[in-house]
Amino acid sequence: MAHPHRVCERSLFLYVVTVIGLMLTACSQDAGTPSGISTNATSVDTSSLSGPTRAPSGQSVAPGAAAPGSQAGTTSCPALATVAVPPAPKVVQDAPDAILELLNRGASSSVIVSALTQWGMTSTTANAIGVSVPVTSAKVLPGDASQLIVVLYDARVKDQSVRFGDVLVFGCASGQFEIEYRASDDAIFGGQVANPHILAVRDVTGDGIADVAFVSGVCSPSACTQNVTIASHVADSPGLVNVSADIDGGPKPVVSFIPSKRDASQALVIAYGTLSDVSVGPQRPFTDTWMFASGAYTLTASVNAPAVYRVHALQDADTAFRHKAYADAAAFYQRVISDPSLRAWDGPSALADERSVLGAFSQFRLAELAAVQGNMAGAQTAIRALQAGAKLGSPAGIYARMAAEFGKGLSDSGDYANACDNLVYFSERNQATYRQLGGDVFGSANYDYQPEDMCIKP
């Protein structure tokens, strides 16, 4: 489960894929040098990782085209034969069966490449979503035989930003080829995979056989939003399964695989950029680290770039508060109140006096911090300071009223949790308390505060 300060970015990615994706315009992504995707090592401060990116012995560092005359599988499958390429399937969804038929007639991997090219279902150059490798061969399932990995990409569609395709793995069983993996069958893609490209074919799970890592996603005028998927063999499961289903997509990812110290697997480190879209609000880059354990990649670290905007300093303070790093939280709240270098958001729904509003709320948080640590006198001092500084009737003044409600709850019961409940009740009836801190003002790229966020319980 994502930390509270990460929820805003997750909402951003869903927003880009489901909303902006409906109004896409083409982005020039199908030519030139790949951008936004990298398999270079990233500097990450974590004791679970070690060394630069490297491939385990016997595994490929990056995918390469299968040998022109090769055919995946064992000799029990149809022997190589001269096979004519049939007319192109009408829709890309019919291509997997057409490829399967070709393989079972003895087509080599070079024939499959020719078919994809003639059909207009492959990208012949690198693009912003990844590197283009339409066909490659690797051992991705247990046994002696290798499998054929095919990437479909419907280049016939004029709008490059929404070209759909698939990632397929074909293997030999009982004398015939069959589809061992089809990315479009994964519910996470909803039946179609946007702009799929292979990122790497290598052993990242540490089981001694290769895994298939690929990227997919759509482009808007502001950025390409890309997802990373790792298809791997898992014990007691046939074929390949998605072991990265919880990884959300994001803009301009720089992807690294870094060896883990604890086992033979590799961590996945993704450094995300930002969207040039004012409607989603202020943003900052962040880096996620995912470790492989118990058959899946799990988020183990998420690190934001330092706050430049005042609202991000507030979010950092709240994160520290939730993690009971009370001294850090107090320092961050003080920075929101007094640091003139922090930028105010000047987007479409910007607050008229952001520094006063966020400063007043941060002053209120200092009262909460004192109270949660049992310092009731300190809490009352912070409340009085807020009431003296916040002008009633102003956007910041609502926090003076909220502070009075909080102070009354503390005086009546001496119980922090009870005072928190009073705050939630107050905020439900005074929506400005939370709405001027969240998505209504700062956009979908930021934490959307709710009444229950007005008080942080230990």
| Mean pLDDT of each 10-residue bin along the chain, 458 residues long | 36 35 32 35 37 34 48 72 93 95 95 94 63 84 93 87 91 93 93 89 95 88 81 89 92 91 95 89 96 96 96 98 97 97 94 95 97 94 90 89 92 88 94 96 95 94
Q: Give the pLDDT confidence score for residue 82 in this predicted structure.
A: 87
52-68 confidence digits (pLDDT tens): 333 333 333 344 445 44
Quick one: pLDDT at residue 260? 93
Q: What is the pLDDT of residue 54?
A: 32
- The 3-state secondary structure of the chain, one letter per residue: CCCHHHHHHHHHHHHHHHCHHHHCCCCCCCCCCCCCCCCCCCCCCCCCECCCCCCCCCCCCCCCCCCCCCCCCCCCCCCCCCCCCCCCCCCHHHHHHHHHHHHHCCCCHHHHHHHHHHHCCCCCCCECCECCCCEEEECCCCCCCCEEEEEEECCCCCCHHHCEEEEEEEEEECCEEEEEEEHHHCHHHCCCEECCEEEEEECCCCCCCCEEEEEEEEECCCCEEEEEEEEECCCCCCCCEECCCCCCCEECCEEEEEEECCCCCEEEEEEECCCCCHHHCCCCCEEEEEEEECCEEEEEEEEECCCCEHHHHHHHHHHHHHCCCHHHHHHHHHHHHHCCCCECCCCCCCCCCHHHHHHHHHHHHHHHHHHHCCCHHHHHHHHHHHHHHCCCCCCCHHHHHHHHHHHHHHHHHCCHHHHHHHHHHHHHHCCHHHHCCCHHHHCCCCCCCCHHHHCCCC
pLDDT given at position 125: 57
342-400 per-position pLDDT tens digit? 999 999 889 999 999 999 999 999 999 999 999 999 999 999 999 988 887 889 999 99
pLDDT for 4: 34
Q: What is the pTM of this model?
A: 0.78
CA distance 222 to 24: 10
